[in-house]
Structure 1
Amino acid sequence: MRIMLLTAGTRGDVEPFVALAQAATARGHQVRTAIPENSGADTAGLETVSLRMDFAQLINNQGVSPWVAAKSYRTVIRPGIGQLLSAAVEHIAAFAPDVVVYHPKVLSAPIAAERLGIPSVLVETIPSLTATREFPAPFITTASLGRLNRASYRLANLATLMFKRELAAAVQDLPPRPRLGTRRQITMIPVSPQLLPRPADWPATVHLTGHWTGQPPETDGDKELADFIKDGGFVYAGFGSMRAGDPSARGEAIVQAARRNNLKTLVAGGWGGINIPQAVRGGDVLVREAVNHHLILPPAFAAIHHGGAGTVHAVARAGIPSVVVPFIADQPFWGHRLHQRGLAPAPVPYRNVTADRLADALAQARSCRDRAMQIGERIREEDGTGVALDALEAFAAS
């Protein structure tokens, strides 16, 4: 089977698709994966093509500020999305796949698939499009809206309206829209049911598969890092692509909070979300630009992170508690969800980070460790990519 995968966003959006591509290739399928520039994901051995947009550079320029994003909407964001949408259509048409599997940000993918007569699979890396009465759309609020929960998902259509002109340009050379009722589509949600039990009102066409993760490496060759984490007793801190506020003040607060709990600190600076001032460095602090979560999380006491879906699953899979410091988007949702599931203390929004707050959160995380170990064991038994491939193969053959 010829499978076209298309994803957009930062590393957390790309790595699940890479894991699925690896699993599908291992089963003998011909897979082509379209990804953004400079994603940071390891795509060795895979056939990849570019979607011609660099989300890393976009975040590096504007951080998480909605005001900066609003100012650059016409000059940077719209042209960039336009390139992405056009590239997606070109790749689908050129590859002529048997099935198209796409991230919600790739707005042109389902239209191209429909007009070319190809079945498609929507991948909700965040459960924000399939409406349910059980919780509101993750980007809206963490508090239940009661009877309005389902209605909150309609706001997801705003992305299509925001880029209506770019979308029309991307699909203008495709065949005309077929008659109504001819689209073939299912949805896959690569989320562990241990973190998000399946809502009772999701339709049968929605598959909650478990998280998609690849085979972890046995070592990364970093002996200093291996020695630092060997005996545990450390907290990991990393905020991925998030940039906002004062990263040095945040870094100092993290180190002080760890020391008050008699813990060492392993920091992944990422794209600039954490900086450790020289004044607070010492033998109990190790800084890296990036680390492999599969290797460093299992021996950690806890992880302080931003609450992105990929990191949430990596920490939960490792069987350790989280301390979530949400910045934007779905991160408050995941922080709230982990707290509900007994896997984390209440989230600490990034604007409220202090040494006192983080020290208290790490102290509370001790009471979450038994629960985290239990859930981690269950998640490690899941085969999210296998379940997804089974569903994909059955759908394509139907």
Structure 2
Amino acid sequence: MRILLLGMGSRGDVQPLVALGQRLGRVGYTVSLAAPADLGHVVAGSGVDFEPLSFDLEAPLREGLGRDSLRGSARTQVREARLMRQVMAGTADALAADVSRLVATADAVVSGALTFDVVDALLAPGRAAGNGPPTKPHVYAVFAPVWPSAHGDSVALALRPRATTVVNRAWSSLAGRVALDLFRPAGDLVRARKGLPRRRFRHYTAAAERTPTLLAASPSVVPHAADWPPALRQTGYWVRDDAGAALDPVLEEFLAAGDAPVFVGFGSMPTPDPAGVSREVASALARLGVRGVVSEGLAGLRVDRAPGLLGIGSAPHESLFPRCAVVVHHGGAGTTAAAVRAGVPQVVVPHAADQPYWGRRMADLGVAPPPIARKDLTAARLQRALEVALSPGARETAYALGERVRAEDGAGDAARLVDAYLTRWA
């Protein structure tokens, strides 16, 4: 049986699916992973077949509308949502065509949040069958808790994040409506071509609740919520078999030359003032007298080579983070997971979407100070946050959490759940 994994999004949306693909391959499935064309390097060498989508992701994020949308996310969520919808609408034609072609040749599909609606449209049984079962097995995979819930610590978008209240459920339901509006353009195109009506939100939620769903987040980090739908099954994080790749020799030499450094990197999040952010970071590290590794990323951070300070390109987090004193990052689900598994304290600088949630969770778990919003990042605030993260208490708590999370087999559990579902379907 051939399983198609759809990894629309950034590296953090693709890399966990590589891990799932490897484990499904062990069970005996033929697995292919579709992702933006310029993310093929994330899949390379894994043993999972790569199916490039007909557009890039990182290049548009570096300039134009994609960059503007992420710049706006540092200011208001309304502007973020409006511009992100334009980004999704701009790729709708290509995404609908690509996914239609790939789904047609697959026996089963695992989709993420950005492709759930278009896959649901493609697998709809047709107008005469109403809301019957999909024509092929469909599994929904997510890396953040996105279901409406009253439990603030178990839902990414909560109005009262540290309380259990109906207000949280109402607010996160509203967030789901906004998300559907952002991600539905490709699904709308498919439904129009099939002569199916445009879905209302209640139909969308009903489809999501009856689709077998995997939440790839450790229960030690995201507590189970009693009001999650029965179709949702939570596993630990999905980590690929060969995650601990070798580091660049220059970076390896730097790490060996002194104390464990502070890592600073914002992944795929651009920033409107990379030079200014780089100066603030270098200043904070210098004031504390600690060494630093600064990752360029899509933020475009740059630091001058100096004693105790090194600028790098990309590096495997699973190999680098355990050798750092603190990880300063944007709060992406994948980066947060890697820092948790490394057992080191964190400082989270959220930019958009679910990143504030991960920042709050790290603070609540005692492995990080309260998050610093991207628009509020200064050298003084970063210095104070690093002082907390460098404390013995934060180090001990992070180490203990890392031990618990590393003991989980998230990708293996997920592969077993997918296999069981496909066996029942057959």
Pick closer, same or farther for the CA change 1:388–1:131 going to 2, 3 Å: same
Tell me the distance in 1 between the aligned counterparts of 2:363 and 2:337.
14
Alignment-derived partner of residue 152 in structure 1: 171
Query: For the Cα contact (< 8 Å) 2:331–2:355, is it kept in 1?
Result: yes
Name the structure 2 match of 1:312: 336
Counterpart residue number, 2:379: 355
Once the two structures are TM-superposed, the CA of residue 319 in structure 1 deviates from its matched residue by 0.2
The whole-number CA distance in structure 2 between the counterparts of 1:69 and 1:219 is 36
1:65 to 58, 62, 71: 71
Contact 2:245 2:316 (8 Å CA) reproduced = no
Match of 2:418 in 1: 392
**TM-score, length basis structure 2:** 0.84
CA distance in 2, matches of 1:382, 1:363: 30
Q: 1:121 to 1:69 in 2, by over 3 A?
A: closer
Match of 1:335 among 359, 363, 386: 359
Which of 130, 136, 150 pairs up with 1:133? 150
Aligned match for 1:170, one of 190, 194, 215? 190
CA distance in structure 1 between the partners assigned to 2:291 and 2:284 by the alignment: 10
Q: Tell me how far apart the structure 2 counterparts of residues 292 and 163 of structure 1 sit (CA, whole Å).
A: 30
Quick one: which of 233, 240, 262 aligns to 2:260?
A: 233
In structure 2, the residue corresponding to 1:9 is in which secondary structure?
Answer: coil
Q: Cα distance 1:191–1:68, how it changes in 2: closer, same or farther (>3 A)?
A: closer
**Residues 86 and 171 in structure 1, CA contact (< 8 A), matched pair in contact too:** no
Tell me the alpha carbon deviations over residues 2-41 of structure 1, each in whole angstroms, 9 at most, x when there is no partner: 2111121110111111111111112221112111221251
1:102 pairs, out of 92, 96, 111, with 111
- The 1:21–1:69 alpha-carbon spacing in structure 2 relative to 1, beyond 3 Å, is same
- Residues 142 and 307 of structure 1: CA distance in aligned 2, closer, same or farther (over 3 Å): farther
Alignment-mate amino acid for residue 224 of structure 2: R
Distance 1:273 1:148, change over 3 A: farther
Which moved further from structure 2: 112-121 or 388-397? Answer: 112-121
Paired residues for 1:217-256 under 5 Å: 219-220=245-246, 222-230=248-256, 231-256=258-283
Q: C-alpha distance in 2, partners of 1:221/1:332?
A: 30
**AA partner of residue 52 (structure 1):** S
Q: Which letter maps to 1:134?
A: H
> Quick one: structure 1 residues 10 and 27, their matched pair in 2 at CA, closer, same or farther if it must change by over 3 Å?
same
Indicate if the aligned counterparts of 1:242 and 1:273 stay in contact, CA closer than 8 A. no
Structure 2 counterpart of 1:124, one-letter code:
V
Matched residue of 1:49: which SS? Answer: strand
Q: Which moved more, 1:32-41 or 1:331-340?
A: 32-41
Number of the residue aligned with 2:200: none
Measured on the aligned residues, the alpha-carbon RMSD in Å equals 2.6
1:127-181 Cα distance to aligned partner (Å, 9 max, x none):
11x222102852465635821212223232334335655423224555979xx99
Show CA shifts across 1:272-326 (max 9, x none): 34222x3xx4121111111111111101100010000000000000000110011
1:150-299 aligned within 5 A? 150-154=169-173, 155-162=175-182, 166-174=186-194, 185-216=211-242, 219-220=245-246, 222-230=248-256, 231-276=258-303, 278=304, 281-299=305-323
> Which position in structure 1 is the counterpart of 2:76?
none
Task: Quote the residue 1:112 is aligned against.
Answer: 122
Instruction: Describe the shift of the 1:65–1:140 C-alpha distance in structure 2 as closer, same or farther (beyond 3 A).
Output: farther
Q: 1:139 to 1:89 in 2, by over 3 A?
A: farther
Q: What letter matches 1:325 in structure 2?
A: V
Measure, in 2, the Cα distance between the counterparts of 1:72 and 1:13.
Answer: 16
User: 2:43–2:50: 8 Å Cα contact kept in structure 1?
Assistant: no
The residue type equivalent to 1:50 in the other structure is: P
Q: 2:170 corresponds to which letter in structure 1?
A: A
Q: Which stretch shows the higher mean deviation, 162-171 or 355-364?
A: 162-171
Q: CA deviation at 1:341?
A: 0.7
**Residues 191/221 of structure 1: CA separation in 2 closer, same or farther (3 Å cut):** closer
Between Structure 1 and Structure 2, which shows a larger proportion of helix residues?
2
SS at match of 2:58: helix
User: Residue 91 of structure 1 corresponds to which residue in structure 2?
Assistant: 102
Query: Quick one: structure 1 residues 363 and 82, their matched pair in 2 at CA, closer, same or farther if it must change by over 3 Å?
Result: same
Over 3 Å counting, the alpha-carbon distance change for 1:119 and 1:225 in structure 2 is same
Offset at residue 118 of structure 1 (A): 1.0
Q: 1:321 to 1:216 in 2, by over 3 A?
A: farther
Paired residue total? 389
Output the CA distance in 1 between the equivalents of 2:2 and 2:223: 32
Residue segments in structure 1 that go unaligned for 5+ positions in a row: none
TM score, norm. by length of structure 1 = 0.90
CA distance in 2 between partners of 1:138 and 1:375 (Å): 20
Over the matched positions of the two proteins, sequence identity in percent amounts to 29
